């Protein structure tokens, strides 16, 4: 049955940034599709909220509290996943952060912080996960990029560069790891109201500008990513690799 290919029943997924916002929504969606989901972020109380939502819908989950700006945490997250659930089939790299200010004011510290969380952390957790996936000759890696991988917007230069890098990394890994049957794809969200974009939406002028750019006429909600992440994590997408699927209400097509 074709619809069975969307099921994630015996799969183990690691979702970074699962404590709130888009990562939380995708973790809940993957669990609803049947996956056992490992929840990764720094804030334990928020991770517990995500876990409670998954348990309430009958799912299985484990929390691994980690600060992914510390590169050594990548190996620990994957080791704890394998110790607890025996394997890792799916990785969703959703943890991300933002610094908004003019490019002239950006510092080396801003660069290291943004590149560390948005690009270096996905790289090294992806590496640790792919080593497990390569042994199993099967895996799905989904990097959460952005509209800003492709367009320029003022005051978020380093963030944009980190997300452009992540879109490229998706293609590099897709080609290099195809021989291990690891599919590597990205989801590029448009504008969603979360903690990450709160400062932007607090400015009525900017909020109006954002809305004016979206053909579908509204900003995204975490549920808008659930179908795409389940699809890319499932057998239904086995012949898709190296792609970015933009979930942006049509922004990039306008």
Report the distance separating Cα 38 and Cα 15, nearest Å. 6
Q: Least separation, in Å, of the C-beta of 244 and ligand NAP?
A: 11
Which residues, in sequence order, are CB contacts of 46 under 8 Å at separation 6+?
19, 20, 24
Task: Using alpha carbons, select from 48, 65, 173, 46 the residue that is nearest to residue 122.
Answer: 173
**Binder among 37, 63, 68, 90 for ligand NAP (CB under 6 A):** 68
Of 130 and 158, which CB lies nearer to ligand NAP in the complex structure?
A: 158
From the list 74-82, 94-102, 172-180, 227-235, the region that binds ligand NAP by CB under 6 A is: 94-102
- Secondary structure (3-state) at 91: strand
Phi, then psi, of 9 in degrees rounded to 5: -50, -45
Of 23 and 165, which CB lies nearer to ligand NAP in the complex structure?
A: 23
Report the distance separating Cα 182 and Cα 192, nearest Å. 29
Interface mask (CB under 6 A) for ligand NAP, residues 25-44, using x and -? ----------------xxx-
Q: Least separation, in Å, of the C-beta of 190 and ligand NAP?
A: 7
Task: Using alpha carbons, select from 67, 21, 35 the residue that is nearest to residue 194.
Answer: 21
Reply yes or no on whether 239 is catalytic.
no
Catalytic, out of 113, 123, 159, 191: 159
As annotated, the active-site residues are 159
Q: Can you give the binding site for ligand NAP, defined by CB under 6 A?
A: 16-17, 19-23, 41-43, 46, 66-69, 94-97, 117, 144, 146, 189, 191-192, 194-197
């Amino acid at each position: 049955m074709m619809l069975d290919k969307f099921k994630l029943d015996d799969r183990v997924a690691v979702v970074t940034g699962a404590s709130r916002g888009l990562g939380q929504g995708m973790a809940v969606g993957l669990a609803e599709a049947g996956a056992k989901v490992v929840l990764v972020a720094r804030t334990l109380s928020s991770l517990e909220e995500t876990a409670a939502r998954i348990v309430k819908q009958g799912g299985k989950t484990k929390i691994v509290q980690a600060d992914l700006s510390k590169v050594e945490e990548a190996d620990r997250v994957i080791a704890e996943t394998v110790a607890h659930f025996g394997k890792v089939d799916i990785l969703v790299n959703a943890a991300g952060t933002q610094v908004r200010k003019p490019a002239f004011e950006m510092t080396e510290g801003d660069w290291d912080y943004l590149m560390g969380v948005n690009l270096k952390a996905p790289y090294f957790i992806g590496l640790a996960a792919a080593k497990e996936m390569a042994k199993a000759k099967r895996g799905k890696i989904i990097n959460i990029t952005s509209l800003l991988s492709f367009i320029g917007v003022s005051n978020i230069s380093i963030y944009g560069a980190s997300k452009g890098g992540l879109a490229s990394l998706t293609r590099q890994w897709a080609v290099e790891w195809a021989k291990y049957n690891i599919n590597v794809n990205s989801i590029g969200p448009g504008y969603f109201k979360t903690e990450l974009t709160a400062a932007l939406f607090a400015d009525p002028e900017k909020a109006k500008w954002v809305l004016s750019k979206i053909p579908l006429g509204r900003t995204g909600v975490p549920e808008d990513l659930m179908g795409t992440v389940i699809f890319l994590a499932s057998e239904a997408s086995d012949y898709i690799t190296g792609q970015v699927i933009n979930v942006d209400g049509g922004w990039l097509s306008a």
